[in-house]
Chain A
Amino acid sequence: MSAGSRGDGVVTRGEPRTRTGCALVTGASRGIGAAIASAVAEDGWPVAVNYRNDGRAASQTVDRIRSCGGEAVAVQADVTAEVYSLFESAEEQLGTVLVLVNCAGIRSDELTLSLGDEEWERVLDTNLTAAFRATRRALKGMLRERYGRIINIASVVGPRANPGQANYAAAKAGLIGFTRTVASEVARRGITVNAIAPGLIETDMTAGLDGRLLEAVPARRAGLPEEVAACARFLASDGAAYVTGSTLVVDGGLSA
């Protein structure tokens, strides 16, 4: 048996196999997800670009990747209800998902006093429960391959307060706790699980936010999706093999 045993300094048990799988990025038609899809494609990963509604934007993401010599396919699926068909489609076309980026997210802001059950559940389902289901599904293939990278896109809202976003904050804080625990469960199989906590990033999702928020950012500007994507690219790389259970904050100093 060529596998290393515990305590002998070998990081993973079992020989790592040739990586012939793919990356799956949920919520990748636009914004941070689209930038991450392009970034991991630059490292040679075939990428499944998941989208829910905006097929045109997803196609543009795919075209951008292909125009740079990468491989990508768009896969339509609602992550709150179709995680298994999403994986089936991605894996049928590109192979086992070895990099999973849980990026699909929504906001539905309201002060807690007025926050309805439906809006609470919708945000939790999309931003937290879907990440759990996708992670559980992805782990099957990753455990077999003794390799995997799971990156959860959280937020500085969660560790920090932001009035009007109780549902979003609960989901994102939950995602960070989820990240830590799963990381500790699967670390010995060569699978890393990390979170990225972006601050104010220029995307459609932050377009309606109060511009005065920038005054609280030491960098005095919003971040770019590409700046978040660069961190995801690192966490997905072999160079980040010993980074797991961490949350990388990308907020221009907002949390400093």
Chain B
Amino acid sequence: MSTTVTTEEIEQVVAEALESFGADPDQINAQATLESLDIDSLDLAELSQIVHERFGAEMKSSDVAELKTVDDAVALIHSRI
């Protein structure tokens, strides 16, 4: 697991993942809510998988279920790396 991952890298991975789930890229920003982006529980499970593969970070489903915004997701991932 790398300790040199930057917030910008995490933001990019999250944005790419959200876009691949069908979110409108023009609407993806730090304050955007996951609900407004039409992100559901399967999307979040898949995001956890992507984060694990990219950064080795573990996110439990109970953790991701509490996420409200894109920024929340980035902060959670950052805290787990």
Contact = CB atoms under 8 A, between A and B. Distances in A.
A143 interface: yes
B42 A4 contact: no
Contacts of A72: none
A55 B16 CA distance: 44
Contacts of A14: 20-22
B60 to A, nearest CB: 16
B38 A1 contact: no
Chain B interface helix/strand/loop/mixed: helix
B38 A143 contact: no
Interface of B: 19-25, 38, 42, 46, 49
Contacts of A3: 22
A186 B43 CA distance: 10
Interface of A: 1, 3-6, 13-14, 140, 143, 185-186, 188-189
B38 A5 contact: yes
Contacts, number: 23
Contact of B49 (A140, A185, A186): A140
B32 to A, nearest CB: 14
A186 B42 CA distance: 8
Nearest to A2: B22
A143 B46 contact: yes
Contacts of A186: 42
Given A1-B23, A185-B42, A186-B42, 10 more contacts: A1-B19, A1-B22, A1-B24, A5-B22, A6-B22, A14-B21, A143-B46, A143-B49, A188-B42, A189-B42
A1 B25 contact: yes
B25 to A, nearest CB: 6
11 contacts: A1-B19, A1-B22, A1-B23, A1-B24, A1-B25, A4-B22, A5-B38, A6-B22, A14-B20, A185-B42, A189-B42
